[in-house]
Structure 1
Amino acid sequence: MKVDKLRTVIIYIIIILLGLVCLLPLLNIVAISFSSSAAVEGNMVGLIPVGFSTAAYKKILEDSQFWHSFLISVERVVLALIINFVLIVLMAYPLSKTNAQFRGRNIYANLMIFAMLFNGGMIPTFLVVKSYGLLNTVWALVLPGAVPIFNVILVMNFFAAVPKELEEAAFIDGANPLQVLTKIFIPISKPVLATVSLFSIVGSWNDFYSGLIYMSKAAYYPLMTYIQSLQINVEDLIKQGNLSAVVDSASLGNTNLNAAKIVIAVIPLLLIYPLLQRYFVSGIVVGSVKG
């Protein structure tokens, strides 16, 4: 018993240390975002703000473009989540069957794996998006990633592990394949569906590079792309004769601004993750094991 208790204590200590390793850098970022520019440049900030200042958040939140980009990101996340969910489920269900049940199943599965390992690249994808007239629209941010193949594999393996007796009983009762999918498979697949939904939300929210590629104007930027482009350039402010902005920027540096960007970007994810976290482990474990 003593050995078991000692092992448990050691495990908890290791987990606490790992948690601190993850938490302390975030606390440092939060402290930097609320500190004065002089304290940050002097490397005086640890886990507590020095020369408390909200200038970084004020600059970001008072910008009307920030809220416009925020709404674009919300729209993008919602559309991507719906499209990903529908296409993943409709693709995973038939692929979870055997080759005898679904002729050509192995061919489709192999093509899917090939597409996951090898893609056309940035330039061909850009040309496709441009040829369909999707540039500077939210669809350019959503459709190129409409079918995340890794997520399809997770859901496919989860569906394959569902007892066949459930499906057979439903067919005997007169259900069609769509009814079996919506009434049986989806309700009992909450762990893996919550997991892929979390992947979709995080991926769509954090992606800033697509906005740089497919959007030609800042007015069309999603939030991550917009805050990534925010910089303080005192020389430009002086050239423009904007002396009040120069005075305001005296207490604000790019390091503060970048820290505030990170904090703002993380907040929505911190609100969403606890709602889906309880499904995360079981969804990954079951979905990654081939049935």
Structure 2
Amino acid sequence: MKSKTFGSRFADICIWMVLLLLTALCFLPLLNMVSISFSDKSAAQANLVGLLPVHFNTNAYQLLLKDTQFWRSFLISIERVAIGTAINLMITVLMAFPLSKNKNDFRARNIYMNLMIFAMLFSGGMIPIFMVVKNLGLIDSIWALVLPGAVPIFNVILLMNFFKSVPEALEEAAIIDGASKMRVLFGIFLPISLPALATIGLFSMVGHWNDYFSGLLYMNSSSNYPLQTYIQQLSVDITKITDPSQLKSLASVSNKTLNAAKIVVSIIPVLLVYPFLQRYFVSGLVIGSVKE
């Protein structure tokens, strides 16, 4: 190991200072958003809120949390994330495993790969996808939110390259012992592919949670909106609120404080999940993105 000279220590200090500065640049806007959501209406409108709330209050959150549709949309988003992520992981694994084999083991491999690359680069468009979903009778159902994006091609390629990095000797030894292909997949490949699975699982969860446009496109009834769609529509239709209790709360908040509260509430689930998957994220992304 090289000795730590004064120059190397000074370089480390500079690197840490730069990293801390970048961390602050990412964290301070979020802190400002939280402060705005807890601030007084007049202070927020006058842009007087910095890193701490001005005239602390929870009126914006009360307006959101008292709304039954908010909780219904929240549960719909939870259901969508659970079902959508499970479908994404299942299809990704079942596609990536055979595609990770060479042409001698899977003769149609190149055909499927070409079709996948073509589908990733060229989409049928919003109207044809909507017509397919409508003709299948999926409008106003949870399946309209999860099935159109059931095959994440980028994730398939990522996991495929990860499977290719697994030593062939492990699979050969299992086959000699009488293991089937499915036994090799579930008994050998999946247990050692936890970093890659956590990475693509995080991609799927965040993608499903943050998507609001699918709700606008496939849901005719606002009662079926996922959370992000409901939050987006709330800012548009806020003048149409007729409930007296909500109108009273609305008088003490502004669009700025209410929008800040929406953003804070919508990122809480992601912040709760991410720390458990973060340790796998970098290794899964790097190992699955490079093929030797």
Report the TM-score, using the length of structure 1 for normalisation. Answer: 0.96
From the superposition, tell whether residues 184 and 269 of structure 1 become closer, same or farther in structure 2 (CA, over 3 Å): same
Q: Does 1:120 align with 2:131?
A: no
Partner AA of 1:177 in structure 2: K
SS in 2 for 1:201: helix
- Contact persistence 2:63–2:249 (CA under 8 A): no
Matches within 5 A, 1:100-179: 100-179=104-183
| 1:9 corresponding residue in structure 2 | 13
Q: Could you tell me how far apart the structure 2 residues matched to 1:142 and 1:234 are?
A: 28
1:30-88 deviations in whole A, cap 9, x for unaligned?
00000111001111000111111211100111111111111111110010111111100
Paired residue secondary structure (2:157): helix
- SS of the residue 1:259 aligns to: helix
**Do the aligned partners of residues 244 and 278 (structure 1) sit closer, same or farther apart at CA in structure 2, a change above 3 Å counting?**
closer
Cα deviation code 1:204-243 (max 9, x no counterpart): 1111110000001110000111111113878656xx6x77
Question: Kindly tell me: are residues 12 and 100 of structure 1, through their superposed partners in 2, closer, same or farther at Cα, counting changes over 3 Å?
Answer: same
Q: Aligned partners of 2:71, 2:62: CA distance in 1, in Å?
A: 13
Question: 2:29 matched to which residue of 1?
Answer: 25
What amino acid maps onto 1:253 in structure 2? S
Question: Which letter does structure 2 place at the counterpart of 1:277?
Answer: Q
Looking at structure 1, the residues matched to 129 and 225 of structure 2 have their Cα atoms a distance apart, in angstroms, of: 19
Q: Aligned partner of 2:268: which letter?
A: I
Unaligned runs of 5+ in 1: none
> 1:268 maps to which residue?
269
Partner of 1:200: 204
In the alignment, what sits opposite 1:68? 72
Please state how far the C-alpha of 1:6 moved relative to its aligned partner. 1.1
Aligned to 1:288: 289
* CA 243–214 in structure 1, closer or farther in 2 if over 3 Å, else same: closer
Query: Residue 63 of structure 2 contacts residue 246 of structure 2 at CA under 8 Å; is this kept in 1?
Result: no
Distance 1:176 1:228 in 2: 49
Where in structure 1 do 4 or more consecutive aligned residues deviate above 4 Å?
Answer: 232-237, 242-247
Q: How many residues align?
A: 288
Q: CA deviation at 1:247?
A: 4.2
Is the Cα–Cα contact under 8 Å of residues 61 and 67 in structure 1 kept in the other structure? yes
Q: Tell me which residue corresponds to 1:215.
A: 219
Q: Secondary structure at the match of 2:151?
A: coil
Q: Percent identity?
A: 58
Does 2:49 match 1:48? no
Question: Structure 1's 244 and 201: CA in aligned 2 closer, same or farther, altered over 3 A?
Answer: closer
What amino acid is the match of 1:100? N
CA distance in 1, matches of 2:245, 2:74: 27
Matches within 5 A, 1:184-195: 184-195=188-199
1:37 to 36, 41, 45: 41
Aligned partners of 1:278 and 1:234: how far apart in 2?
41
- The whole-number CA distance in structure 2 between the counterparts of 1:234 and 1:182 is 50
RMSD between aligned residues: 1.5
User: Could you tell me which residue of structure 2 aligns to residue 257 of structure 1?
Assistant: 258
- In the alignment, residue 254 of structure 1 is paired with which amino acid? N
Matched, 1:79 2:105: no
Is the aligned partner of 1:248 residue 2:243? no
SS of equivalent to 1:231: helix
The structural deviation recorded for 1:249 is: 2.2
